[in-house]
Amino acid sequence: MHHYRADQHVLFEQRAVHDNSVMVGSFVAVLDTEGDANYHVAKVIKTNRTLTVLHYMGTQSKQLRSCVWRYMFKEKPQGRQTRRRGAKPDAAYRMHVQDNGYPNPLQGELDTMPIGQNLIVLPNLGLDDHMRLTRDTILLLRELPYKHHVYMKTWT
């Protein structure tokens, strides 16, 4: 048997091409505002000619290769309010593995525009079965001048 050797030159027809179309069910990296230094990872829930609706995801890891992405949900504070302690915050966030079955998903809306003109930094992110970014996606994200949001560190 011979050892496998990759071709030195790959034909143009055989090269992989990154698809820039945003479809329902795909994952995207998106900024909050134009001058933001950190991006969110989100799943596209709905899209039409004018509006794209996203379900935000979060992680607690600082390194991209060890990030496990979870769906974010708003959680209303529970318990009784007392006068001495002051007002409780309006909402906290919880992370869950599944995107359905929980109330109040953390959603955002974007104007549907071509890539480069809107806040989507990188469309069609690759996630594996364990909700981790694939190696190719990590390499593409590292080339960008942005970092990912870390829950409870850069994103509260």
The tens digit of pLDDT for each residue in 64-105 reads 999 999 999 887 656 665 555 555 544 577 888 887 777 888
Give the pLDDT score at 114. 79
The tens digit of pLDDT for each residue in 41-68 reads 999 999 998 899 999 999 999 999 999 9
Structure token digits, residue 142? 């590292």
Q: How much is the average pLDDT of 117-137?
A: 90
pLDDT above 90 as % of the chain: 42
Q: pTM of whole model > 0.85?
A: no
β-pairing, 147-148 vs 38-47, is parallel
Contact predicate 137/39, CB 8 Å = no
- b/e per residue, 111-139, with b = 16+ CB within 10 A? eeeeeeebbbbbbbbebeeebbbeeebbe
Contact predicate 77/88, CB 8 Å = yes
3-state SS of 3-25 is: CCCCCCCCCHHHCCCCCCCCCCC
β-pairing, 120-122 vs 147-148, is unpaired
